[in-house]
Amino acid sequence: MTDLARRLGTLDATAIGLGSMLGAGVFAVFGPAAASAGGWLPVAILVAGFVAYCNAAASAQLAAVYPSSGGTYVYGRERLGPWWGFTAGWGFVVGKTASCAAMALTFAAYVAPAYAKPVAAGAVVVLVLVNLRGITRTALVTRILLGIVIFLLLLIIVLSISDGSAGAEGPAQPVGPLDVLQAAGLLFFAFAGYARIATLAEEVVEPRRTIPRAIVGALGGALVIYLAVGVTLLHTLGAERLSRSTAPLSDAVGPRWTFLVTIGAGAASLGALLALIAGVGRTALAMAREHDLPRWLAAVHPKFAVPHRAELAVGVVVCVLVLTTDLRAVIGFSSFGVLVYYAVANLSAATQTGADRRWPRSLNVIGLAGCLLLAATLPLGSVLVGLGVFAVGLAGRAVTAGW
């Protein structure tokens, strides 16, 4: 058996996308973003959301025509050529594998900081086993975790307004357009989870209808929640204090309710990790089918209809990373890889014509420009590491193609 089973409806697909976007980033990203944008944080959220919408439109339009696992890896191959597809797929697999390890460590840092590495590895093992039981189990657990996260975020917003600290402000720091763009670059990656819907396209029922609805619905839900949290934090803490906070939601609710933030961050991390493992496994499956990764990764389990070898391989690599590596110096590559991934998606969508087009081509052009502009705001070290990893992957493909 080489094909996956179509079992995901609109609700499940939307939950997986939204669960990916409401990861641990919602509990940490607002401090660094406020350090750049100050009181203009809501504008930065809207800028990031608009670029994400352009990318989502490209992904939805492509996924409706190419409803198979792999996301932009498949789109790049079909619309631009195999090297473009490989570039997108390689960036996604390597970058998101690093993100898996970071998400596992984030979960462990909240719930068991004294035993972070073994707890993180244990979380990876459990979630790989959940994924191996089939995509419907993945969707069920994601819905449960997503419900917990949304409920706790709403509760945190209410408690922040009623019991939180007053947002006393000192002199406002001058903020320019570049500062807002830098904040948008940080916030953009919190919106990138809708790609998981596209990578699972082969398991979606009625993909031409379901995928666009799920992507737009997940992105819209995430934008509303991020705006609500961002505005609440600005109101409660003020831009200056928010910019200095390493745990803004904890600071907003005060010490009495910090345990709610801990539970929410743990659930959000697990939900994002679960969807990440599924997405990376499906992209690895698609690349293995085309011999861009070892062919044995292309196996699909005859009973549970999941890429079991690919997911097991991802789980092993992530466990090794969380047990042996300090990822702080390399996680920036994940951001670089995501932007390259979406740049290829926008370029691919721009080539579509006729009945395949659902959105104006101008959105693809804006999305491509936005990806390149936000990439330019990343630290130089992250860009150099990203370019080095892409060079290794492309050189490896050239060697294997020669063989």
Q: Is the pLDDT of residue 218 over 80?
A: yes
Q: Is the pLDDT of residue 173 over 50?
A: yes
317: confidence class by pLDDT, cuts 50, 70, 90: very high
349: which 2 tokens?
A: 């969508």
What is the share, in percent, of the chain residues with pLDDT greater than 70? 93
Question: H or E element: which one contains 382?
Answer: helix 380-402
**pLDDT by residue (tens digit) across 115-156?**
889 999 999 999 999 989 888 888 888 889 889 999 999 999
Q: Is the pLDDT of residue 171 over 70?
A: no
Q: Is residue 403 part of a domain?
A: no
Average pLDDT of 307-325?
91
Q: Is residue 196 part of a domain?
A: yes
Q: Is residue 4 part of a domain?
A: no
Q: Is residue 169 part of a domain?
A: yes
Give residue 1's pLDDT.
Answer: 44
Q: Which residues pair with 8 in a beta bridge?
A: 204
Average pLDDT of 269-281?
87
**pLDDT by residue (tens digit) across 63-122?**
888 887 788 999 999 999 999 999 999 988 988 888 888 888 888 877 888 888 999 999
Q: Which domain holds residue 127?
A: 10-396
Q: Is residue 226 part of a domain?
A: yes
Alpha-carbon distances of 41 from 30, 67, 226, rounded to whole Å = 8, 36, 11
Please give the tally of structural domains in the chain.
1
Out of 217-231, 291-305, 369-383, least confident range? 369-383
Q: The domain that contains 195 carries what CATH number? A: 1.20.1740.10
Q: Is residue 2 part of a domain?
A: no
Write b or e for each residue in 260-279: b if 16 or more Cβ atoms lie within 10 A of its Cβ, otherwise e: bbbebbbbbbbbbbbbbbbb
Q: Is residue 1 part of a domain?
A: no
Q: Is residue 16 part of a domain?
A: yes
Residues near 36 by beta carbon (within 8 Å), at least 6 away in sequence: 44, 175, 179, 180, 182, 183, 186
Mean residue pLDDT of the chain comes to 85
